[in-house]
Structure 1
Amino acid sequence: MATGGRQDTPPGSGTPAIPARRILPLYLLLGFAAGLPFFMFNAVLLLRMARHDIDIVTIGYFAWVALLPTFKFVWSPLVDKYSVPGFARFWGKRRGWIMLSQLGIFASMVGMAFTSDDTNLPMVALFAILLAFWTTTLEVAADGWRIELAPTQEQQAPIVAANLWGYRSAMVAAGSGAVLIAARADWTVAYLAIAVAAFAPFPALALTRAEPGATGRRWRSLGIGMAAGSVILAMSCAIVAVLGWLLLSGAAAAGIGSDANLTPVVIVLALLPFAILALALPRIRKLAPDAPLLRSTTFGPFVDIFWRYGFATLLVLGFVSLYRVGDVLALTLSHPMWDARGYSLDQIGIADGAVALPASMLGVALGSWMAAKWRLSWALAAGALVAAIGNWVYVWLWWVEPEGWILYASVAADQFGNGLAGAVFVVYLSMLVNPRFPAAQYAFLSGFAFLLARLLAGASGEMQLQIGYDGFFILTGAASLAAVVFLPFLARTRSHGDSAGPEEAA
């Protein structure tokens, strides 16, 4: 599929701020910085709530916190357009947003640490949402930079591998480390320890060289950035708190209680913006390449996808929405299932660490190699099959007597399939993107890719009550495999061309 022209350096740059030989280590570091907090508002949080005897339906609802990254396209144009005061004067736009995001991640995780008894669930939700927001913002900035630096399939594969190695290493470190610390101390200490580890890349970035054309001094820019960042963090916390209060007040006024089935309402609201774009497809296809709507900084990146692929966009979106459903659903209830089956926190910690990490790394390495050497359709099919098998292994785990080696073998199979499918999928999404607006378009596509999965994840507790853990994991494996039926049609999909885009308009 056509993805537009090449850009070797960020727009407006001369000599790259980061030498080419350091790109892979950089993305290893960025992946680590984004991966550490992910488990803390997802799997670890759900396990923590299960250990505090929060009911399974409420635990399922908390999985909807992961919906926030799905809508990162809403604020991703801001990351492309605006710079963070202070930080950007020395480190540039991309690193400025990454550094601000790390401040947000640290502050949010400290908030989760001091609400770790789960007695005040609205406060837990507030800090979990903020943690998801800043983690996602870091990913938006890093993904946009990656696509600018490496626009071809062969160039993307090694950077994707480095990024995913860092990301998955951090997820395992967070998951396993937090659980093992909690087993010996408590959840507050666990979250504080991961918060400190998540902040470690910040000083490393602060010591990197200046952006070409930088106008500020290092330490002065750092001080201004920290001050501005504190104000931005306080404002974001206040905005989320007010919106949450309005949402809860509106739900109470409408008579919606904790026992209400919110899944249909959430699904309709979440799908609404995508449905509007789909209904507008006939008009979008008729736009000229330099039409004002395609040149719009706010809407152009999203309309461009539908303009370039026409009605095939619906096929592409259908495929990407299904491809990772099984793995997301499995992640939601795997830890509560291990807890229900009687495995200890020590065993779960070992499974999440010493077992999951090498299995995941091997899967990422093989998936990245396949994405670089195979036709993407064949690599995607192999990823779907291996991911399905990894989900079905949990059915076996549920049926047999709990033993440590059974848990470890199951986690190894699941993480290998997850890593392989994930690496291939990231390369595929990157090839769909027009490099003229990489951050916004990748945010849109990767967000939509997990929309259905995260909507269903919120209802996973209700599903488990109906069909049991074994039926649930049979279903997740089947969902992983279902996307394969799209592949023969996707192999013939081609881009219509390139629109003028915001940069040319400027």
Structure 2
Amino acid sequence: MRHENDTKRGWKETLTSWGHPRAVTMLFLGFSAGIPILLIFSTLSVWLREAGVSRSAVTFFSWAALGYSFKFIWAPLIDLLPLPLLTRILGRRRSWLLVSQLMIIAAICWMGLTDPVLSPTSLTSMAMAAVLLGFSSATQDIVIDAYRIESAEQSLQAMLASMYIAGYRVGMLVAGAGSLYLASWIGTSREAYNFSAWQGTYFIMAGIMLLGVMTTLVIIEPNRAKSNKLHEYTVGQYCRIVGLFLCMVMAFVTTFFNLGNLTVGWKSVMTAQLPLSGVILGFLIEAFRFGVALAAAALVAAILVRLNLVDRPMVRQTYVMPVKDFFQRYSMRSAVLLLVLVGFYRISDIVLGVVSNVFYVDLGFTNNEIATITKTFGLVMTLAGGFLGGMLTIRYGVMRILFVGALLSAATNLLFMVLASAGADISMLTLVIAADNLSAGLASTAFVAFLSALTSVSFTAVQYAIFSSVMTLFPKLIGGYSGSMVSSLGYETFFLITAGVGVPVLLLIWMVREEKGLQTADATSSKKEK
């Protein structure tokens, strides 16, 4: 991992940099990236719960965002493939950015046209629209990350990241608190569900995404993206690697769903007879199911490459080299330890977050109260936590604040137990949100710095996509069972468990900090980059 040796900049220079055109661009692109995610998570959860959808079904919708966790699979393709006509007109990054934004708008409109309680198939249609939204939004994130890295020199990257995060949080505020306010104002509530109110709300959110489209059309293509060769391979080679990707997806989906038909009965029996153990065993079965599906996809890819149906050097450069580089820079033990930490660092926050809005509704809080306290006030506390985390990270180092952030994230989950006992108490909710979001902002800042240090400058976009995917994969898989766990165990026990799973994360951070292989890699990495 790379150590921070940044030269201090004067206050005047720092303040002036906030007006840099690239900084303003990242503010608007961050806003565009922040809109979709809550339309899949918390906002959709409130909508479905108001419509009378079961708690378990609501939390299973969190899996619709697994596209964020598997975006590393198609991130190399987006980096590689030109789009017909659009790439020549807009450039590599802007063309993919525009397509992903138009797909997001289409997915949001699809959700707005679907009443989840209209017919037995309407909930399935809603799930398909949510999956498309998750895929499109993850694609937009990949392109924005690449655009940010290529659009400015290293000295401006921290400032660009800060502006992106600020815009992202504002986008989340609009899609979270804004949509809940809007739906209530149009005329829907837990007592009087109104589909038209939610439909109008989602159509308005789709319209707001046009701000991202306008930004894409007025910004310029990064110079580094222009300098890269767009047509290094023939059209036939591009088509074959897209065919490889589609075959891998088909193998994964077919295997995953066929195994699901075999395991659904087992999981139902175990969850009913063994509330906690059954959920854990169900998660292990689900993880095994994902593993077998991924193995099937890899096997199909290997067969197609061996039959020379796909260009072997092209596949190696696209998929193999970024992974190989990571394991070459670290020993096998160190690399595995790092990936485990990346995969489980945010488990306490994400698993609790899946069920949080359902929890607030079940306690009796109104949509306006949820929007005001958890979204608006919560945003302020998250930004404050991020600012505090940045200062502390610079002062005390990444690993120390990474540990403090993990400790606080787990500890603040215990406050939700107190809230569960207190009921619909506004003062208690305010206290819990203040502590939880402050610690989350602090932890997130340290974690982004940690992920940035792991990334090689030669494979920034692909490796960062891998790390961010691993970061959310396992927590989201477990989060899909949060509704079942709450139904079986109750909220208080559930919150205690989410706090407890944060303890092994503290041990992982300590192990990473003491790992000699990582200390050796630091020196090697620093020498290579100078």
Mapped partners of 2:295, 2:63: distance in 1: 20
Q: Following the alignment from structure 2 to structure 1, what is the Cα–Cα distance between the partners of residues 345 and 253?
A: 35
Residues 354-433 of structure 1 correspond to what in structure 2 (within 5 A)?
Answer: 354-433=376-455
Alignment of 1:397-476 (within 5 A): 397-476=419-498
What is the rounded CA distance, in whole Å, between the counterparts of 1:274 and 1:312 in structure 2? Answer: 24
SS in 1 for 2:458: coil
- Measure the CA separation in 1 of the matches of 2:473 and 2:206: 27
Aligned residue type for 1:115: T
Asked if 2 retains the 8 angstrom alpha-carbon contact of 1:63 and 1:332, the reply is yes
Residue 268 (structure 1) aligned with residue 269 (structure 2): no
Aligned-partner SS, 1:108: helix
1:200 maps to 2:234 = no
Alignment of 1:46-195 (within 5 A): 46-119=45-118, 120-148=122-150, 156-185=157-186, 186-195=197-206
Q: CA deviation at 1:418?
A: 1.6
8 Å CA contact 1:322, 1:452 repeated in 2: yes
- Using the alignment, how far apart are the partners of 1:253 and 1:316 within structure 2? 34
1:356-393 per-residue CA deviation (whole Å, 9 max, x = no partner) reads 12111111222233334431101201211232233222
Q: CA 1:92/1:464 → structure 2, altered by over 3 Å: closer, same or farther?
A: same
CA distance in 2, matches of 1:439, 1:72: 11
SS in 2 for 1:54: coil
For residues 293 and 248 of structure 1, the distance between their equivalents in structure 2, rounded to whole angstroms, comes to: 27
Q: Deviations over 1:178-207 (max 9, x none)?
A: 111221221111111111112212112212
2:319 to 280, 288, 298: 298
Is 1:209 aligned with 2:220?
yes
Closer/same/farther in 2, CA of residues 306 and 350 from structure 1, 3 Å limit = same
Distance change (3 Å), C-alpha of 1:53 and 1:247: farther
Q: Which residue identity does 2:426 align to in structure 1?
A: G
Distance 2:224 2:436 in 1: 47
Task: Give 1:134 shift.
Answer: 0.8
Instruction: Note if contact 1:39-1:174 (Cα within 8 Å) is conserved in structure 2.
Output: yes
CA spacing shift, 1:313–1:246, aligned 2, 3 Å: closer
Query: Superposition pairs for residues 493-504 of structure 1, below 5 Å?
Result: 493-494=518-519, 495=521
* 1:334–1:46 CA distance, 2 compared to 1 (3 A): same
Q: CA RMSD in A?
A: 3.6
d(CA) in 1 for partners of 2:140, 2:507: 34
Per the alignment, residue 9 of structure 2 pairs with none
CA distance in 2, matches of 1:365, 1:199: 30
CA–CA separation in structure 2 for the residues paired with 1:214 and 1:440: 15
- Matched residue of 1:379: which SS? helix
Task: Decide which moves more: 458-467 or 439-448.
Answer: 458-467
1:81-140 Cα offsets, whole Å, 9 max, x none, are: 123334432432222222211111111000011114344111011110010001111111
SS in 2 for 1:296: helix
Q: Which amino acid aligns with 1:395?
A: M
Match of 2:330 among 284, 305, 309: 309
Instruction: Please say which of residues 293-302 and 113-122 is displaced more in the overlay.
Output: 293-302
Higher relative helix content: 2
Find the aligned partners of 2:217 and 2:411 in 1 and give their Cα distance. Answer: 43
Normalising by structure 1, what TM-score? 0.79
Tell me, yes or no, if the aligned pair for 1:68 and 1:129 is still in contact at 8 Å: yes
CA shift, 1:460, in A, is 0.8
The 1-side partners of 2:380 and 2:471 are apart by 26
Q: Secondary structure at the match of 2:31?
A: helix
Inter-partner Cα distance in structure 2 for 1:309 and 1:149: 29
CA separation of 1:374/1:271 partners in 2, compared to 1, >3 Å: closer, same or farther?
Answer: farther
SS in 2 for 1:143: helix
- Matched ranges for 1:232-251 at <5 A: 250=258
Distance 1:183 1:242, change over 3 A: farther
| Distance in 2 of aligned mates of 1:427 and 1:34 | 20
TM-score by length of 2: 0.76
Deviations along 1:223-267, whole A, 9 cap, x unmatched? xxxxxxxxxxxx9xx99x999996898479658469577643321
Check whether the contact 2:100–2:139 (CA below 8 A) recurs between aligned residues.
yes
Deviates more, 1:260-269 or 1:421-430: 260-269
Mapped to 2, the partners of 1:488 and 1:251 lie a distance apart of: 38
For 1:300, give the aligned amino acid: M
Matched residues in 2 for 1:463 and 1:128: separation? 23
CA contact (8 A) 1:294 1:303 kept: no
Residues 87 and 99 in structure 1, CA contact (< 8 A), matched pair in contact too = no
Instruction: Verify the 8 A CA contact 1:161 1:365 in the aligned structure 2.
Output: no
